[in-house]
């Protein structure tokens, strides 16, 4: 089974802090994604990566950046955290050429910015 592991389940950070959310997958998937989940808004794509060192903006990239130095790891970075970034963050992975394979999700990181 594919396993997508997010390093923290809960994080509490202060406004202005630099925040790193880490995600690791163990199935050699080329594609990795960061989503943000908010009540009433569903999941919104922040960034995705289709290869090492490659990244593309999703629908809501403002205030975020990402890093993919190794195939198995995809990091989401909040350069200067703000209260409106309090949310649940979900990482997912997907194989290249996977056709109708499902996205594989981690269990999420609930971030609170105070």
- In the complex, the residues that contact another protein under the rule CB under 8 A are 4, 31, 33, 35, 40-45, 48, 50, 58, 90, 92, 94, 97-103, 105-108
> Given the complex with another protein, which of 69 and 99 has the nearer CB atom?
99
Report the residue number, 17 or 86, with the smaller CB distance to another protein. 86
77 burial via Cβ count (<10 Å: 0-12, 13-18, 19+): middle
Shortest reach from residue 67's CB to another protein, in Å: 20
Nearer to another protein, 18 or 94 (CB): 94
In the complex, least distance from residue 14 CB atom to another protein, rounded to whole angstroms: 25
CB of 90 to another protein, least distance (A): 6
Whole-angstrom distance, CA of residue 104 vs CA of residue 13: 27
């Amino acid at each position: 089974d594919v396993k997508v592991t997010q390093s923290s389940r809960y994080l509490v950070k202060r406004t202005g802090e630099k925040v790193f959310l880490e995600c690791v997958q163990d199935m050699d998937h080329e594609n990795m994604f960061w989503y943000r989940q908010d009540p009433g808004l569903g999941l919104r794509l922040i960034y995705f990566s289709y290869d090492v060192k490659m990244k593309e903006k999703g629908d809501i990239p403002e205030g975020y950046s990402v890093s993919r130095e190794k195939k198995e790891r995809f990091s989401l970075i909040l350069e200067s955290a703000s209260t409106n970034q309090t949310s649940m963050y979900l990482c997912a992975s997907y194989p290249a050429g996977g056709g109708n394979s499902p996205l594989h999700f981690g269990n999420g990181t609930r971030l609170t910015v105070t």
